[in-house]
Structure 1
Amino acid sequence: MKPIPHAVLALCLLASLPASAQTDARTFLGYRNDNGTLDIAASDGRYLIRPYDANIVETTFVPRGETFDPVSHAVVLAPGQAKATITDADDRIRLVTEGITVTVEKSPLRISYAYKGRPLVAEKGGYGHAGDLESIEFALEGDEALYGAGSRAVGMDRRGHRFRLYNKASYGFGDHAEQMGYGIPMALSSHKYALHFDNPQAGWLDFDSRKDGTLRYEVMGGRKTYQVIAGDDWAQVMDETTRLTGRQPLPPRWAFGNFASRFGYHTESEARAVVDKFIADGIPLDAIVFDLYWFGKTVKGTMGNLAWDRDSFLHAEAMMADFKKKGVNTVVITEPFVLTTSKRWQEAAQQGVLATDAAGKPFTFDFFFGNTGLVDVFKPQARDWFWHIYKDLKAGGVAGWWGDLGEPEMHPSAAHHATGTADQVHNIYGHEWARLIADGYARDYPQERPFILMRSGYSGSQRFGMIPWSGDVHRGWDGLQSQMEIALQMGMQGQAYMHSDLGGFAGPVLDDELYVRWLQYGVFQPIFRPHAQEEVPAEAVFRTPAVKALARTAIRLRYAMLPYNYTAAFDDSVTGMPMMRPVLFDDPDAEMMSTKDVASTYLWGPDFLVAPVTAPGAARKEVVFPRKGSVWFDFYTDAPHRGGIVEVVATRPDRIPTFVRAGAFVPLAQPVQSTRDYSTAKLDLHYWHDAGVARAEGHLYDDDGHTAHAYESGKYELVRFASRFADGRLALTITPEAGAAATPTARTFGLKVHNVGTRPRAVRAGGKAVVFRWDAARRLLDVPLPAVRSAPLEVDVTL
């Protein structure tokens, strides 16, 4: 069939099957090539298919009687960045890029997707409309595991569940939570593709709950648009996903340090005493977080004041300035609810910054904290009003923002916003709230990185610098057990900074073993922030001496790992690869099918393998060592373990099982009291040698820790590491690189080569023999190296 003229196409769209039909009777009517967009006429509407790049193709179905809505709240990538050809032959139309091929079969009408000749997914039955929901179905293969749908706790492979797409907090959740504060309309397959549904309205994402091989997207209205994302491996899928919806910018470096936080600090003297106790006890600290008592003495009745309670915090600005001198940054909680009893109610109502009722008056309702209105973050004047409050607080010394209850926690359907009803905009409320803060910084403080901690968001919220956490988790072993899955899943969906309230939040539970194990896990999660209801202290300084000592060890390790962690965070900002990664990412040949459903062991950055202890009194831990043929070394003892197996290892109370990949370069620093004192001028550089590793690479990223877009503006330094091993000779190369606007740092590295079984015959650095130490018992070679500033340095070890 030949392409049909546009005028005829428009007439064809009037051909009628009922709009509610989902049936094999839907028929193909014609097509045209609209400047690279494949425009398909069907009896019940039209398909618009266009490539974004070689590995991302977008498909929109416009039902008969509707018009195309071009607005996306998630996508930032511009379409048309790949060459595509459209062909018509053999009763099929094909749109072909270098990666994805879209095939439209004419009879029966069916759309399928393939990647480099490998089938990915196909529509199954097309568009349908039943009751209040519109739907699009897809056919699944029997062996596919499914991930995605935002923040949930149901098991790593989420196939078999039907998920509500409506952000809603889950108070006191444990090892299971079907619905949480951060829903994302995305499904990822173990076949290395993703389906991203580009519509924020409330609905459902059905991961084959009926066991009939069907993935079903159901929505109350809006766009029927989805993107198919594919890649050769998981790294490419992550890269493409975050190219589509945006990269996570680096937060300020202090965000990778330790936080003091509880619900909450009641007075200035109490907060000062906490900070001073951390310093006195030698436990590193970079931030203190103020929960709602900073603006009121009571939990109820004061929300919306959004100003320091001067009875309790008379000298708040001086307090924050003193904290800053000690290397401690101040973070305050804010909520989008303005109670009718708050000091800002009249101001908010008169300035028209609140969601309204049908008559245009401020919409008020009762919830736990009192009678309230809700800031309409979709309204320009409300965004300005809210931002100026943040700006005033920042001028007083606040360094970071905690946005709580941003689902919103209570959001009656009868409320109206500037851009739609409550149900239409509910899932992007937190997204827009984060955007207004990010936009404010970009406009008024363009050189600064914001810190934005929020509980709820949407696909793409990471590009605003949003740092999500899993919510009010139960302070129990069940609460800890779900955290790895939640963080790993969110990282796969572009939200790389998902983390938990370390130690658990909800419930007056005093369990020292649980607290220590949670903090030990926290060393290897994106943000290290203990937080809890105040009946049992969340801060390590208020625990028993034995617990405090174990907590100090964990926190100091967190600070020692800052060079590695900050580099992994930089990698996420430029590639989309999250810091926490499922072991399936490292299992390219599917040698271990069990990795599809594993969250209890995970990768931390490119080179660490971590297995948190999540059961009381556990003397042993099952560890999944991925990648057959690889070798993993115990981080603490250097004991080797083979990849491609599941092994049970012994546990210890002072650490969790942690392993490093053979061939890994890991830069470590001496712990400091605060990142204010951090420097990469003198580091230990660890390399795990193995005869089976012929070549390996690594790198260190550094900048000033606070300048926005430091990498893009050339205000950075990179140090690249490489190894070559052959014929008994190990060559290690250190190559510094400085951005155009950076001054190179003279760095000295204490090189520590692990798994060296015999004393080296010689060690040379820069062509000159150097003094070295070799510890036979530990199989460790220790080489102090000369400073490296701008020229490469090669170290040759003759074994």
Structure 2
Amino acid sequence: MFGRITDYKVNNQIVEIKFEKRSGQVEIINESIVNIFAALETQEHRSKAIENFQKKQVSYHVEREEDCIVITTSKVTVKVYDEFKVDFYDKDGKVLCKDYRGRRQRGIVLTEEDAELMAGEGHEVEDAPEDYSIQILKELEGDEAFYALGDKTGFLNKRNYVYEMWNTDNPAPQVDSFKALYKSIPFFITLKKDSVYGIFFDNTYRSYFDMGKESSKYYYFGCDNGNLDYYFIAGDKMTDIVTGYTYLTGTVPVPQLWTLGHHQSRWGYKSEKEVRQIAKKFRDNDIPCDTIHLDIDYMDEFKVFTWNKERYEDPKKMIGDLKKDGFKIVTIIDPGVKLQEGYHIYDEGVEKGCFATTPEGEIYVNAVWPGDSVYPDFGKPEVRSWWANNQRYLLDMGVRGVWNDMNEPASFRGELPQDVVFYDEELRATHSKMHNVYGHLMSKATYEGLKENDKKRPFVITRACYSGSQKYSTAWTGDNHSIWAHLQMAIPQLCNLGLSGMSYVGTDVGGFGSDTTPELLARWVQVGCFSPLFRNHSCMGTIRQEPWQFGEEIMNIYRKYVQLRYELLPYFYDLFFKGETTGLPVMRPLILHYEKDQNLRDRNDEFLLGENILVAPVVNQGDTQKLIYLPEGLWIDYWTKEEKKGGSYYVKEAPLDVCPIYIKAGSIIPNYPKQSYVGDKEIDTLILDIYLGEGKYKHYQDDGESFDYKDGKYNEYLFTINSEGIFTAELPNKGYEKEYKGFVLKYNNTEKYVEFNGDKLTVKLV
């Protein structure tokens, strides 16, 4: 495809390499990140994930050796050979990643007769594998584990699995063999025994990832269209790779504090009366809740930016009344616009040229909830602006957030043809190129509309996304089911999304499709309360799963974990505050911080919140004990305060109301007092749950909703505890007018209130 190297030149950290047949380039992004690029479709990257990016100026060296070109920074060495084969080495010359020089091996190829036999009984028969026009094969040394890749099904470690990046709406119960779901995040982390690296394949067409299933000699990623465009990210540890990837694609902005509370949803809450009853039930049963979500039933004939005035007589008044009791309303919006002359959104869109077209220039029509529908072309800046402005309709009603659904884009009359015309900014493109970024661009438009018209940090939820969507939107994992397998899958799925830059994510607590059971709901809320996005959501036609539906015992368990979530809100908020700088997720697999521990490579049923809290939920029906592995260090049982030494397995008694939780020694965990919703009470005293040992902790305090924190208008507290039991509180950054008057120090089953003068406080605890 490329041929032999004939020449090269260097220009502003770009090494342009001429081959016999075409050119390629290696661009140095910073000391640890390099981009491998060949202009096969466009001369520019035209990335949708990497925006407003500032390349760092670094020192580097380039030289020509006999068989390759060598590019060296302080962190990584890149060797480029004939045919644009590229190998990567660390600063000490150790191999990190090498291109495989052989040809692909073919997997199982059925005869035509055997394929017909299988198809006759209903088995899915795949075509024989073929080479892709863009195809990168990397050597396998044998000890690799693979992580990230977005919201793919199955387990944490993706070794020996195959996947496709093609946003797909499939409401069937998702199993390990699913190759594609709602999101396309073509980034993965490779962990070896003594090294780690990441690769981001920035190509929006349907792409393919084989993580060693086809052969034990190589893994590959490939695509049939677009540019050869991937980023190699080196680092000393896994956290470096996540930080490097989010350095490219962006980090999650700090959300409004109320959005971290408990959310309740169902398809469908069909009337104002029903929504008011749901809200009252939460308050009557003393179960904290901040948000009620309205699915498609609130709309008039499922037309976006309308309201059904028969079911909701006065939605603005309803929202205002609920606001007085602490509830916020989030409404769903789909991209499909009903084809109906006289409907203002359709008429405006036609007039402004906002909708995707056929190759012949006619507006393309498919069907979703409203029936015949047309699709906004979010690839056009002017369409995104039009869509952004339409958010004012919802905001004027009092809506506090927007839930983007069906934005793969979904369609009821078969998938949109590949040649439907969409735009890539100013360039005419096709559905095949823009499909995977459709939801991403819709979220961007929604975010910008809320930001401009509300002036607060936007709360946007999306089902479909691409790399970089974390800058604009939260996400949930789509239409899961009320089955134990999906509770089990929630942990690795959310952890891999976090490693993929999507830190603000959750699953539908209790499951969306199928019917939940009392035990399943009780165990699911024990995962949900620790998930960054905490929402109970279920499908019309299934058993209702609000907390009170299964009697007093289950409701008490549900309340216990929702209340625990509200106690931990300042800890969650701090993780988001830190994550905007570091890119590190809230919910993390243990391997992220203990990558040398072989026991954790495939640990699917435990996770960390930050570095201080380890959660090991029960995820098997009927289990009342849990086999737990604790990594190195000293850990304290949250419930019993019993100390456990890390590096060992333990059996924890876990009846239905107990989710095993462990706190790392030396941790200082900020807590809020009991409240029914965020803003329920003025919090001028912070509770600090202290676990003796050596440690430090930074806590952030601001108004919880505006962008003022970006201008330094926040308080940063530094808490420390040393081996002698001396606690210290300082306030190194005073940017927010409200300060805590004091702290409640909890340690060794005692509580002590201490006043804080806004300067420095020292207390001897033991």
TM-score using structure 2 length: 0.91
Equivalent position SS for 2:441: helix
Relative distance call for 1:789 and 1:119 in structure 2 (3 A) is farther
Corresponding residue for residue 171 of structure 2: 171
Structure 1 contact 586–626 (Cα < 8 Å) conserved? no
State the distance in 2 between where 1:581 and 1:81 align.
Answer: 32
1:290 equivalent in alignment to 2:288: no
After superposing the two structures, state which structure 1 stretch, 31-40 or 313-322, moved more. 31-40
Corresponding residue for residue 750 of structure 1: 744
Corresponding residue for residue 500 of structure 1: 507
Structure 1 contact 50–79 (Cα < 8 Å) conserved? no
Relative distance call for 1:678 and 1:137 in structure 2 (3 A) is farther
Corresponding residue for residue 4 of structure 1: none
Q: Could you tell me which of 645, 649, 659 is aligned with 2:662?
A: 659
Deviation at 1:547, TM superposition (A): 1.4
Deviation at 1:212, TM superposition (A): 3.4
Corresponding residue for residue 5 of structure 1: none
Corresponding residue for residue 354 of structure 1: 355
Relative distance call for 1:126 and 1:47 in structure 2 (3 A) is farther
Q: Could you tell me which of 36, 41, 44 is aligned with 2:18?
A: 41
AA partner of residue 551 (structure 2): T
Q: Could you tell me which of 732, 735, 758 is aligned with 2:730?
A: 735
After superposition, give the CA deviation of every residue in 1:232-254 in whole Å (9 maximum; x if it has no partner). Answer: 22222221111110011011111
Structure 2 contact 132–222 (Cα < 8 Å) conserved? no
State the distance in 1 between where 2:712 and 2:200 align.
Answer: 33
1:119 equivalent in alignment to 2:95: yes
Corresponding residue for residue 783 of structure 1: 752
After superposition, give the CA deviation of every residue in 1:254-311 in whole Å (9 maximum; x if it has no partner). Answer: 1111112111111111111111221122111111100001003xxxxx3334211111
After superposing the two structures, state which structure 1 stretch, 199-208 or 553-562, moved more. 199-208
Unaligned runs of 5+ in 2: 105-128
Relative distance call for 1:132 and 1:196 in structure 2 (3 A) is closer
Corresponding residue for residue 539 of structure 2: 533
State the distance in 1 between where 2:368 and 2:260 align.
Answer: 35
Structure 1 contact 736–789 (Cα < 8 Å) conserved? no
Equivalent position SS for 1:553: helix
Identity %: 26
Corresponding residue for residue 59 of structure 2: 83
State the distance in 1 between where 2:434 and 2:42 align.
Answer: 20
State the distance in 1 between where 2:42 and 2:314 align.
Answer: 57
Corresponding residue for residue 126 of structure 2: none
State the distance in 2 between where 1:109 and 1:393 align.
Answer: 52
1:638 equivalent in alignment to 2:657: no
Corresponding residue for residue 222 of structure 2: 218
Structure 1 contact 304–336 (Cα < 8 Å) conserved? no
Equivalent position SS for 1:173: coil
Relative distance call for 1:112 and 1:533 in structure 2 (3 A) is same
Deviation at 1:753, TM superposition (A): 2.1
Structure 1 contact 666–685 (Cα < 8 Å) conserved? yes
Equivalent position SS for 2:134: strand
State the distance in 2 between where 1:481 and 1:678 align.
Answer: 36
State the distance in 1 between where 2:226 and 2:348 align.
Answer: 34
Relative distance call for 1:245 and 1:678 in structure 2 (3 A) is farther
1:417 equivalent in alignment to 2:422: yes
Deviation at 1:683, TM superposition (A): 2.2
Equivalent position SS for 1:372: strand
After superposition, give the CA deviation of every residue in 1:457-485 in whole Å (9 maximum; x if it has no partner). Answer: 00011011x11101111111112111011
Corresponding residue for residue 586 of structure 1: 593
Equivalent position SS for 2:164: strand
Relative distance call for 1:54 and 1:747 in structure 2 (3 A) is farther
Corresponding residue for residue 338 of structure 1: 337
Relative distance call for 1:498 and 1:269 in structure 2 (3 A) is same
State the distance in 2 between where 1:678 and 1:600 align.
Answer: 36
AA partner of residue 394 (structure 1): L
Relative distance call for 1:213 and 1:711 in structure 2 (3 A) is farther
Corresponding residue for residue 796 of structure 1: 764
Corresponding residue for residue 156 of structure 2: 156
State the distance in 2 between where 1:796 and 1:564 align.
Answer: 24
After superposing the two structures, state which structure 1 stretch, 96-105 or 451-460, moved more. 96-105
Larger gyration radius, structure 1 or structure 2: 1
Equivalent position SS for 1:53: coil
1:141 equivalent in alignment to 2:118: no
Corresponding residue for residue 614 of structure 1: 619
1:60 equivalent in alignment to 2:37: yes
AA partner of residue 309 (structure 1): N
Aligned 1:178-189 pairs, distance under 5 A: 178-189=179-190
Equivalent position SS for 1:672: coil
AA partner of residue 63 (structure 2): T
Corresponding residue for residue 455 of structure 1: 463
Aligned 1:438-453 pairs, distance under 5 A: 438-445=447-454, 447-453=455-461
Equivalent position SS for 1:448: coil
Q: Could you tell me which of 104, 113, 136 is aligned with 2:80?
A: 104
Deviation at 1:428, TM superposition (A): 0.3
State the distance in 1 between where 2:220 and 2:681 align.
Answer: 50
AA partner of residue 620 (structure 2): A
State the distance in 2 between where 1:747 and 1:234 align.
Answer: 39
State the distance in 1 between where 2:443 and 2:103 align.
Answer: 33
AA partner of residue 506 (structure 1): G
1:668 equivalent in alignment to 2:648: no
Deviation at 1:68, TM superposition (A): 2.5
State the distance in 2 between where 1:581 and 1:476 align.
Answer: 23
After superposition, give the CA deviation of every residue in 1:720-742 in whole Å (9 maximum; x if it has no partner). Answer: 111222xxx322111123344x2
State the distance in 1 between where 2:497 and 2:217 align.
Answer: 24
- How many residue pairs match? The answer is 725
Equivalent position SS for 2:97: strand
AA partner of residue 713 (structure 2): K
State the distance in 2 between where 1:101 and 1:792 align.
Answer: 47
After superposition, give the CA deviation of every residue in 1:184-207 in whole Å (9 maximum; x if it has no partner). Answer: 111211132100011111121221
Deviation at 1:368, TM superposition (A): 6.5
Give RMSD over aligned pairs.
2.2
1:69 equivalent in alignment to 2:44: yes
Structure 2 contact 547–558 (Cα < 8 Å) conserved? yes
Structure 1 contact 50–80 (Cα < 8 Å) conserved? no
Relative distance call for 1:549 and 1:348 in structure 2 (3 A) is same
Corresponding residue for residue 51 of structure 1: 28
TM-score using structure 1 length: 0.87
Equivalent position SS for 1:711: helix
Deviation at 1:109, TM superposition (A): 6.3
AA partner of residue 573 (structure 2): Y
Corresponding residue for residue 445 of structure 2: 436
AA partner of residue 731 (structure 2): P
Aligned 1:680-759 pairs, distance under 5 A: 680-690=683-693, 695-708=694-707, 710-725=708-723, 729-740=724-735, 742-754=736-748
State the distance in 2 between where 1:47 and 1:441 align.
Answer: 41
After superposition, give the CA deviation of every residue in 1:512-535 in whole Å (9 maximum; x if it has no partner). Answer: 010011011111110111000244
Relative distance call for 1:369 and 1:257 in structure 2 (3 A) is same
Corresponding residue for residue 266 of structure 2: 262
State the distance in 2 between where 1:381 and 1:174 align.
Answer: 37
Structure 1 contact 126–136 (Cα < 8 Å) conserved? no
Equivalent position SS for 2:711: coil
Equivalent position SS for 1:188: strand
Structure 2 contact 62–70 (Cα < 8 Å) conserved? yes
AA partner of residue 743 (structure 1): E
Relative distance call for 1:105 and 1:222 in structure 2 (3 A) is closer
State the distance in 2 between where 1:161 and 1:264 align.
Answer: 36
Relative distance call for 1:450 and 1:368 in structure 2 (3 A) is closer
AA partner of residue 712 (structure 2): G
Deviation at 1:367, TM superposition (A): 5.0
Relative distance call for 1:190 and 1:492 in structure 2 (3 A) is same
State the distance in 1 between where 2:39 and 2:140 align.
Answer: 24
After superposition, give the CA deviation of every residue in 1:433-492 in whole Å (9 maximum; x if it has no partner). Answer: 1111222244444x410000110100011011x111011111111121110111000100
Structure 1 contact 127–134 (Cα < 8 Å) conserved? no
State the distance in 2 between where 1:56 and 1:289 align.
Answer: 41
Equivalent position SS for 2:722: strand
State the distance in 2 between where 1:556 and 1:312 align.
Answer: 32
